[in-house]
Amino acid sequence: MFEVQDVRVDPSSRRAWRAGEEIRLSRKEFDLVHALIARAGSVVTRDELMRDVWNATFWTSSKTIDVHLGWVRRKLGDDTRHPTLITTVRGQGLRFETEKAAAS
């Protein structure tokens, strides 16, 4: 079981919750969240995500991750313009944030 901020993920049952409410995720969406939350606080590269989530060592489409990430952010209620759960680290990859960023 992984719990970061108010998101909880149970890999054995493949279920996820936000603030105690279950969130329905597709298989790939769950795999993406799991890959990120398991390494919360660390940057996960797009190459690592393609390998771990899509089992691909080549790029099928540069938009694959972005499209799934958009769906995940919406389902988790993470603002797509100013995300506080999963952030993009330009030129490096994605990071599941361990703490909610202070309002700027």
Q: What is the pLDDT of residues 54-73, one digit of tens each?
A: 988 776 666 889 999 999 99
* Residue-wise burial string across 29-60, b where 16 or more C-beta atoms lie within 10 A, e elsewhere: bbbbbbbbbebbeeebeeeebbebbbeeeeee
Q: What is the assigned CATH class of domain 2-96? A: mainly alpha
- Which residue bears the tokens 């493949």? 14
The pLDDT tens digits for 26-62 are 999 999 999 999 999 999 999 999 999 998 877 666 6
Which DSSP string corresponds to 19-88? Answer: TTEEE---HHHHHHHHHHHTTTTSEE-HHHHHHHHH--SS-S-TTHHHHHHHHHHHHHT--SSS-SSEEE
Q: Which two tokens stand for residue 19?
A: 């603030």
Q: pTM, whole model, 2 decimals?
A: 0.91
